[in-house]
Structure 1
Amino acid sequence: MKKKVIEIYKDITINDLSLFLNINNSVIINICKDLGLIVNINTILDKELISFISDELGYKVKYLDSLLLINKEKEIREKYKKNIYIKRSPIVSIIGHVNHGKTSFLDYIRKSNIISSEEGNITQHIGIYNVNLKKSIKLTFIDTPGHESFLSIRRISIKISDIALIIISSENGVMTQTIEAIYNAKSENLPIILGISKIDKNNNINKIKEQLSNINILVDDWGGEYLYQKISVKKGYGINEIIEKILNLTKKINLFTNINKLCSGKIIDSYVNKNKGYIVKILLLEGILKKGDYIISGIYYGKIKKIIDENNININVVYPGLSVNIVGFNGVPYTGDNFKVLKKEKEIKRIVIERENIIKEQEIKIKKILYKKNKDININKNKKINIILKVDVENSLLAIIEEINKLNIEINIIKKKVGNIKYSDYLLAKTFNCIIIGFNVKNIINKKQINNKNIEIYNLKLIYDIIKILINKNENNNKENIKILGKAKVIKLFIKDKKLIMGCKVINGKIKKENKIKIIRNNKIILISDIISIKIFNNKVNEVKKNNEFGLIIKKKAEIKINDIIETYKKK
């Protein structure tokens, strides 16, 4: 039997794919679970997964994203009879756990103060910087956020890097994101250099080496293959040595690239500037990029009007391995997408029109189905949360959606886009009964235009504030369907075997391992999680009764404080 064909341009969510295939999204979720994947309706599926799922359900997927571009590139490349190779700048990802000193290290090298501009001194965006060293040597550093929420961004940076520089605080040692960074770098076969930071505060390096050896990372002076260097940004110690190690390592890597190739590279980030328009940060990997080139990424394209380096200086030419901001795109491309340069604007426009038509058909179909569902369901009985997300830069979307996907809450993301909150967002929120969440953007809706005061609009600066609002919104929606089974209070916190253990005392009812828990602070829910284990005097138990003390380990991570309240509950 011939399979039905569905045309898809880009990676889409489970919810969208279920609409295209006209099936319940639980069918797709179950297929993913059989593959060992933890997903929900907002999980974005890549092309390989989409093809596998569609094939399982009797459909064939046709992708129309880059085939035409590739054919055109081959045709133009035939005109070049001579290959010219140059050595490009090495690309180094700085990765590791939050607050281990990654951005401070980069600040020292660049003599800048990036960290002071970050909200709450937390890096929430990907940064990429070209550093000029002596003898005209250049290095390109990618600075990644260390918080758990930014896994997608860290994976993108690792995929486009030549070397992974993993920073480990000598105070805290090897932690969760340290291990994740090492495993991700090894999976991409990246050479690894370890920087042991903050040695002015703690110089017990043997403890770090032992922790690393426990995860099969043996440093060079212990007979292993991994280079390491003690550093202190405060004292300026070890910085030159670690740079020297990076440069020596790059001599062993083939970094030559053909500059007669048509330009290509990666989109790092993008945002809207009210004076300049769309600003797109790119990393050039092949060819020489020039002002006036025609560029395309996904459905967005344009003629490059300006090339701006990190010092805000206009330049005309970019060489491989370097990152710049460009002005000229007609929209905001997606972080991690490829870009290419073609010779003729006419060819780019033809490709874009084909892609846009596919996407418009998809979006119209989704909106029609959502609108019908919204009309059919009594809003008062609908416990799903519909949201509109407006963010400052494109890679913020990756982190926010990834964090939302971890919640055990039914959330429909009706719209997600870079830019300020506008009147069109308000109208969409009215139609689909949404809350509007802005992340580091402005609300430019004229208050006189708003006639529905029940539309909730939030302007937030930290991703964890978004999560708290969604958790509390879900709690308010489902209050009548939840029965509280027990309450406890956090009276002590300690870490054992890299796990946070909460010392608690039961106030009311019982705390049972089988029930979900809510952690509450100042009458607001900060986390919903499953319980991993309950212990009384090192003995594992399944329940604890009133007035008894116990140790608790939960599945999800959050900043837990003494006096936080723990509630166990079940749905009625």
Structure 2
Amino acid sequence: MSDVTVRQFADVVGLPVDRLLAQLGEAGMQISDADETISDKEKMQLLSYLRKSHGRTEAPTETQPKKVTLRRKMHTELKTGSSGRGATAKTVSVEVRKKRTYVKRAELVAEEEDRLKQEAEEKARLLAEREAKIQAEKDALRRAEEEAERKVEEERKQSEEVLRLKEEEEARKVKEAESKVSDEAQAQARAEQEARQQKTEKERKTRHREPVADQPTKYGRKELHVAKGKGGRRKKPSGRRSGVAVKSSGEHGFERPTAPVVREVEIPEAISVGDLAQKLSIKATELIKSLMKMGVMATINQSLDQDTAVLLVEELGHTAKQVSENDLEIEIEQQAAAKVTGEQVPRPPVVTIMGHVDHGKTSLLDYIRRTRVAAGEAGGITQHIGAYHVETGKGMISFLDTPGHAAFTAMRARGAKVTDLVILVVAADDGAMPQTIEAVEHSKAAGVPVVVAINKIDKPDADPERVKTELSQKGVIPEDWGGDTQFIEVSAKTGQGVDELLDAVLLQAELLELKAVVDCPAQGVVIESALDKGRGPVATILVQNGVLKKGDTLVTGHEIGRVRAMFDESGKPIESAGPSMPAVVLGLSGTPAAGEDAQVINDERKARELAEFRQQKQREVKLSRQHQSRLEDVFSNMGKGVKQTLNIVLKADVQGSVEALREALTRIVTDEVTVNVVSSGVGGITETDANLALASNAILIGFNVRADASARRIVEENEIDLHYYSVIYDAIDHVKAAVSGMLSPEVTEEIIGLAEVRDVFRAPKIGAIAGCMVTEGVVRRNAPIRVLRDNVVIYEGELESLRRFKDDVNEVRSGTECGIGVKGYNDVKPGDQIEVFERTERARTVE
């Protein structure tokens, strides 16, 4: 406080000026004028005098005030100037009031120490509670483990006891069965012995003609008979009736067959004891007894394998004939192969157009057929296998147009297997692409010759030599380079070179000498199938041998049906289709898989049996795959976390698209998420599909199909995820995005700083404070840390404090000293290293 006058000081303390001057004089100060100044020292001297005069001393600290508040008033006057002539100045009185409070520093330090002590005690209490909780959890876990071990031991003992009782019961049953068989054998032996004795006795009586007593008749007369008890019986003529020999003497007896009856028994892959006994016309107990002699314990309903049944039949003296369940299929295949061997006649070539997407395959075929197919395809790409036949001036050619997208690899492979010749379309401005090379590999694997059509030759940047160079590196050598492959430069837009391409195809077909048998039941292969809402299952079949006609019974895969109607690729009705002709067939029971063989069978009963047998085999394979996949999942998940599964219910317009989509989607697999196609099929989305998606928590995907009214109602009520697609790579990309969203983010760590502990300071209220030197990077307050001792991590946590001298700072850079407090850890020692790092999360994606 600056020096003030006595008058001003009197105003501040609220005393009269005269009394204040008197008190100053009594205190030993020579101040007599009210306008004299008084210093801070003189004020403290006056204060000490007044305290002594009132009986107060400075000694006890407890009685001194913790804080002192001083108030001061200052009066000043301000004069305002005049703004015009004749105006007078005004004087304004201003009072300034000030208030200042002084607090003892010792009290503040004591309060801060008390607060830090309370915080330390609270932290110690929380740490003790957490340790007690952890110990309680460990004790509970140990008790649970002991309880689980005890239950496992009890279950093991119970299982052993049940197994022992079961073994004793089986042994008792075996013993009873053996005893029963033994009793039956003894009883049978006794019966046979008694029968022999009776027969011997009868023969003896017959030989000796023992006298027979006379017997009275009804009217009292007596009649003489040869044997006893035969009175009144008429003598029957000699002969056999029901295996009984009638003798002239009036005696009846069973005669044994002169030779044993040997039966030929058909033994399937599995047969029950009862069914085998019925085929052998003997009792089941006899079979069981024979099995026991062979060391096999079986009941009447137990199934025997084929080898055991064959040994048993041969042991009983009969002939066993092994039969297989697929004998019918083998028989029909043999009959079909025998009927195909007839007179062969020339047939048109089947040509497949292959190549990379957007290289102009369908456009080239459009020019040949004078149609506009590519304009109607979604995204401008072909997503089905199209089958067409074209009448040219030099003969008929059947074309198969395969898709070029990577997901349709299986469809392109089927196209190569049923074709005679491949036209490989390569864009002159793009060169050989992945699907181009893949088409070459399919053709080589099928052994099919290739004709290369270098398309888009009319473009300014066309480079045919580049195409030849790139294909020659894959083993496709042009004829003008000394190879055996024809390269034709064409333009699907202007028609340049198309005639030369057709000539090359027909020339290659003549060299192949393509022939087929016409006079035989039709055979072919399914190119594509779909489910039409108005017409039902529709299949496109390429006939390979014979002539397919309306009314034929057709079997393809596990589907059967009578051909109700046939159409060509343009929808015109036809009555028949010969070799190398594609035909759209109506009347099948379902949509067969693309690539299935189609065969006409005249015997409808055998055709139906074959279809049912294939359906049964398909169900068994499906169940076995499901069971196998469950086992594989169990073993693969042992020791790992359970993988997430994205379930999908897939419906598409044609069978080929179903296969391509299912194959592409199931390949989207990561370590954490798998894609499972719960169900797939051809046709629109029905109520059954929606319920299946609801039950399996799956998403519905419709590819070129839509949901009906009932399915839409279920989807809306249960908020099922439904998506429609018309381009396959859109569906694949969206599923990949969904799988990426299910992946856990990738966490990476980056070390941003390293500090070396030089010394440790311990404060009773704060704990251990490590005096450190930042040797690398930067130490940040909010970043996680690790404490390293001899390059081994001994603690991981976070910083509690970071200071430079007495100031809290947010970061300290390399080459700077600092004080570091590690939160929850007080065992820091000199020589330790404190490593500061940052964690970053990055969303993972599926490539």
* Residue in 2 that maps onto 1:134: 393
- Cα deviation, 1:89-139, whole Å, max 9, x if unaligned, reads 10111111111111110000000000011001011111111011125x210
* Residue in 2 that maps onto 1:422: 686
* Residue in 2 that maps onto 1:197: 455
Distance 2:645 2:403 in 1: 30
Inter-CA distance 403–373: structure 2 relative to 1 (3 Å threshold): closer
1:252 aligns to what SS in structure 2? helix
* Residue in 2 that maps onto 1:389: 650
Distance 2:737 2:465 in 1: 45
Q: How does 1:295-334 map onto structure 2 within 5 Å? A: 295-334=554-593
1:93 aligns to what SS in structure 2? strand
AA aligned to 2:700 is I
2:644 aligns to what SS in structure 1? coil
Distance 1:470 1:407 in 2: 8
- Cα deviation, 1:343-401, whole Å, max 9, x if unaligned, reads 02111111122222343455567789999999xx9xx9762111111111000022112
Distance 1:423 1:285 in 2: 39
Distance 2:421 2:739 in 1: 43
Report if the CA contact (8 A) 1:196-1:229 is conserved.
yes
AA aligned to 2:364 is F
* Residue in 2 that maps onto 1:146: 404
* Residue in 2 that maps onto 1:170: 428
Q: 2:660 aligns with which of 379, 382, 399?
A: 399
Distance 2:396 2:614 in 1: 37
2:730 aligns to what SS in structure 1? helix
Inter-CA distance 214–297: structure 2 relative to 1 (3 Å threshold): same
Counting aligned pairs with the same residue, the percent is 29
AA aligned to 2:442 is N
Q: Does 1:431 align with 2:692?
A: no
Inter-CA distance 312–176: structure 2 relative to 1 (3 Å threshold): same
1:468 aligns to what SS in structure 2? helix
Q: Offset at 1:482?
A: 3.8
Report if the CA contact (8 A) 1:277-1:327 is conserved.
yes
Worse-superposed segment, 150-159 or 253-262? 253-262
Inter-CA distance 477–175: structure 2 relative to 1 (3 Å threshold): closer
AA aligned to 2:400 is I
Distance 1:81 1:340 in 2: 12
Q: 1:473 aligns with which of 705, 716, 738?
A: 738
Inter-CA distance 147–77: structure 2 relative to 1 (3 Å threshold): closer
Structure 1 unmatched ranges of 5 or more: 7-61, 487-565
Inter-CA distance 449–188: structure 2 relative to 1 (3 Å threshold): closer
Distance 1:125 1:295 in 2: 23
Inter-CA distance 63–138: structure 2 relative to 1 (3 Å threshold): farther
AA aligned to 2:645 is K
Q: Does 1:335 align with 2:599?
A: no
2:591 aligns to what SS in structure 1? coil
AA aligned to 2:609 is R
Higher strand share: 1
Distance 1:403 1:485 in 2: 35
* Residue in 1 that maps onto 2:157: none
Q: Does 1:251 align with 2:510?
A: yes
Q: 2:466 aligns with which of 197, 201, 207?
A: 207
Report if the CA contact (8 A) 1:267-1:334 is conserved.
yes
AA aligned to 1:207 is R
Which protein has the larger Cα radius of gyration, Structure 1 or Structure 2? Answer: 2
* Residue in 2 that maps onto 1:72: 332
- Cα deviation, 1:504-553, whole Å, max 9, x if unaligned, reads xxxxxxxxxxxxxxxxxxxxxxxxxxxxxxxxxxxxxxxxxxxxxxxxxx
Distance 1:570 1:182 in 2: 32
1:132 aligns to what SS in structure 2? strand
Report if the CA contact (8 A) 1:483-1:570 is conserved.
no
* Residue in 1 that maps onto 2:356: 97
Distance 2:580 2:691 in 1: 44
Q: How does 1:362-511 map onto structure 2 within 5 Å? A: 383-409=644-670, 410-446=674-710, 447-450=712-715, 453-479=718-744, 482-483=746-747
Q: Offset at 1:412?
A: 1.4
Inter-CA distance 568–211: structure 2 relative to 1 (3 Å threshold): farther
* Total equivalences in the alignment: 425
Distance 1:299 1:352 in 2: 5
AA aligned to 1:181 is A
Inter-CA distance 293–568: structure 2 relative to 1 (3 Å threshold): same
Q: TM-score, normalised by structure 2?
A: 0.47
Distance 1:299 1:204 in 2: 49
Inter-CA distance 269–476: structure 2 relative to 1 (3 Å threshold): same
Distance 2:677 2:374 in 1: 31
Q: 1:266 aligns with which of 506, 525, 528?
A: 525
1:112 aligns to what SS in structure 2? coil
- Cα deviation, 1:232-281, whole Å, max 9, x if unaligned, reads 12221100011001111111113111122322111111111111111100
Higher helix share: 2
* Residue in 2 that maps onto 1:281: 540
Inter-CA distance 278–199: structure 2 relative to 1 (3 Å threshold): same
Superposition CA RMSD, Å = 3.2
Q: Does 1:184 align with 2:476?
A: no
Q: Offset at 1:453?
A: 2.7
Inter-CA distance 363–402: structure 2 relative to 1 (3 Å threshold): closer
Structure 2 unmatched ranges of 5 or more: 1-268, 271-322, 751-840
Q: Offset at 1:402?
A: 2.4
Inter-CA distance 219–470: structure 2 relative to 1 (3 Å threshold): same
Distance 2:582 2:625 in 1: 36
Distance 1:425 1:370 in 2: 23
Q: TM-score, normalised by structure 1?
A: 0.69
Greater relative contact order: 1 or 2 (C-alpha under 8 angstroms, separation 6 or more)? 1
